[in-house]
Amino acid sequence: MTRIAPSGAGTVLWDRRPVLGWLIALAGLPFLRPARADGAVVEMRQIQFMPAEIEIVAGGAVTFVNADLVPHTATANDKSFDTGLLRKGERKELTFPKAGEFPYACKFHPHMTGRIVVR
Amino acid sequence: MSRTLLAGLVLAATLAASCAGPASAQDPAKLNDLEIAHAAYVAGDIDIRNAHLALALSDDPKVREFAELMIRDHEAVNQAALDLLKKLKAKPQDNDFSQALLKGAHDNWAKMAKLSGHAFDKSYAEGELSYHQTVNHVVGDAFIPNVENAELKTLLGSALDTFKAHEKHAAEMVAEIGS
C-alpha cells in the first residue's frame, strides 16, 4: 500500500506497517536466524566429523553422535573439551559458553579432525 | 583380472601354498555371503591377535597406540558383524580362503615372536601396512561387489572406511619407525 505525502509534493511514501509485519514474520523463520545452539549436531561417520566445521552462538551446545561402527572421541586440541569414548549409536552434548575457535580431533583416529566456531 | 583382485588371490595363494591344510585357497570373489562374513571376521580377528602380540613385545609408544587402535576398532567391527548375523539368524561358513588367512597368520606369529626391539617394531609396522593394503583390496574389489545381502554390504562398506584409515595410519607408522 502506498500513499501520497500530505505535503502534496509528489513524494511517494511507503506505509511501513505492513513492511514491519513482514520483517517480524521473516524473523521468525529459522533459516534467517543463527542456528539454534541446542540444535547443532556433528555426526561421526566414515571416520570423519560431519560437518567438519560448525558455527554456534556462545552458550550454545553441540551434540556429537557416533554413526560409525568403531568408537570415537571429539577432543579439543587445547583439551578444553572431550566427549570421552562414544560407541556406535552413542551421543554426547557439550556446551560452549565462550566465544572462540576450537579445533578438535578423535583421540583414536588422528586424521579425523573438526572445528567449532563459537560467536 | 583386476590388479586388486589379483593381489587378494596372490595373498590367498601364497598363504595356501605354505599350508598343510586346504590344497588351494578359494577365489575371494567367488565366496557366498556367509563365507564372506566368515573371512571378514577372521581377517579382523587376525589383526586383533597381531595387536596383542605387539602389546606384549613392543615398548614403542607409536606401535602400542596403533595396536590398541586395532584391538578397539576390529573388535567393534567384528561385534557389529556378529550382531548382524544374529539378526539374520545366519551362521558364517568356514572356507578355504579363511583357512589360508589363518594359516598365514600362524606362520607370521611364529616369526614375529622371535623378534624384539626395533626389528619387531619395524616388522609389525610394515606387516600392518601390507595387511591392510591387501585386505582393503579384497574387501573393496571382491567382497563388496559380490555380496548380496544389503545389510552386509553396508556393514562391509563402513568397515572399509575404517580399514582405509588404518592403512593411512600404518603408512605413517612405517615412516616414523624408519629402517
**For residues B149-172, b (16+ Cβ closer than 10 Å) or e, as one string?**
beebbebbebbbebbbbbbbbbee
Beta strands A53-56 and A40-45 are unpaired
Alpha carbon distance B70, B112 (integer Å): 17
* B171 near A CB under 8 A: no
Measured between beta carbons, which residues in chain B are less than 8 angstroms from residue A86?
Answer: none
Written as tens digits, the pLDDT of chain B (179 aa) is: 343 433 444 444 444 333 333 445 678 999 999 999 999 999 999 999 999 999 999 999 999 999 999 999 999 999 999 999 999 999 999 999 999 999 999 999 999 999 999 999 999 999 999 999 999 999 999 999 999 999 999 999 999 999 999 999 999 999 999 87
Residues of chain A with pLDDT > 70: what percent? 68
Does ipTM come in above 0.90? Answer: no
- A61 CB burial (10 A radius; 0-12, 13-18, 19+): middle
**pTM, two decimal places:** 0.79
| pLDDT value for B24 | 55
pLDDT, mean of residues A67-88: 97
**For residues A21-31, b (16+ Cβ closer than 10 Å) or e, as one string?**
eeeeeeeeeee
- Contact criterion met (CB < 8 Å) for A69 and B165: no
C-alpha cell belonging to residue B78? 567384528
> To the nearest 10°, the Cα dihedral for A27, A31, A36, A39?
150
pLDDT band at A30 (very low <50, low <70, confident <90, very high): very low
Q: Which residue has the higher pLDDT, A105 or B6?
A: A105
- Contact criterion met (CB < 8 Å) for B77 and A68: no
